[in-house]
Structure 1
Amino acid sequence: MKQPKEVLKTYFETGDKPTEQQFSDFIDSYHHVDSGVIVTNVVVDRLGNQVISLSNGSSFTIPKPSDHTDQNNTIRVVNLGVIRYSRSRLLPTEEDAIVDAINKLAPPLVVSDNEQVIFEFDLQTITAIDISDEILNENEPIMLTDEDIRS
C-alpha cells in the first residue's frame, strides 16, 4: 500500500531491517502517480524525432538535431618532418619530442576557431649510434642509460 515518504524513511533507518510488507509498501510508493505526470513511452519516428508520451494522455515531440556543419571549417596539414626521440627516461620521449617540434614551429602555430589541424611527421628513435655532434651542440646535456647503449 502506498505510504508517505516520512513513513517509508523510517523503514530504512540505520540498523533497521524492513519487513516484507514494509518493502512492498516502499515499492508501491516508489512513484506517486498523484504527484505528477510521468513519461510512459519514448519512440523515435522515421524522421529521427523523439515522440514522448505522458501518463495524462498527452505527448510531445523533440525534433532530431540538425546535422550542422560550419561551411567555413578548414583543415590544415602541418608537416613536422622527422621527429627524433628516445625510449630512455633521460632523453625526450615520443610525446615530449612531438610537443617540442610543435613549439619550435616558425612562425608559431596559430589555430583559428573554425580550423582543424592534422600533424604529419615521421618518428625516429634515437640510439647511442644516432647521437651526432649536431645533437651534442644544442646546449642540452644528453645522458644515456644502459638501455640506450645496448639498443
Structure 2
Amino acid sequence: MIDGEYAIVWLSDDELAAGPTAPRPDLRAKGKYVDESEGTNAWDNVEPTTDIWLIPRADPNSGKAPVELWGDQVGPDGYVNPSTGNGLADWAEPLFALSHLGGTSFPIQAMPDGLTPWYLELEEISGLNFGGGGNAQFDLESDTFDWACG
C-alpha cells in the first residue's frame, strides 16, 4: 500500500554481536534497474544505520498484555487506559510516540489482537515509513504483527 517492504530477521547472539555486514554484491542486471523510489534496499540504502537500546521508563502497564479499553475501563490484569477521553493521561504523555518494548501501547488505529507483554512498538525512525505518523507492533512471543498510518 505504501511501497514499503520490511522483514523481521531473528539473529543468533553471535550474529548480533558481529554488527552490520555489507550486502552481497548487487545481483540486479546492469542497466536494467530503474529507481522507482520504492524505499530502501540492500544496495541503494541512503538511510543511516540507527542504534537502538533499552532504557527503563515509568509505565504502569509494564509486564501486562495490551488490550483495547474505553473510558475508565481497566484490563483483566490491571492494564490501564492511557487515554482520558480528552487526550492522554499525564503519566502517558512522556511515553507517547517513542519506540519501546512492552508496556503501554499507542496503536494509531486499533489495538492488534494477540499482543503479549513482549512486543515491540516501532515508531517511524530512520528508514521506517508506516504511512506518515504511523507505527507498528511486533510481538516477540506470539509473532503478531500490525501497522497503521496516521
TM-score range, shorter chain: under 0.3
Larger of the two Rg values belongs to structure: 1
TM-score, L = length of structure 2: 0.22
Structure with the higher fraction of residues in helix conformation:
1
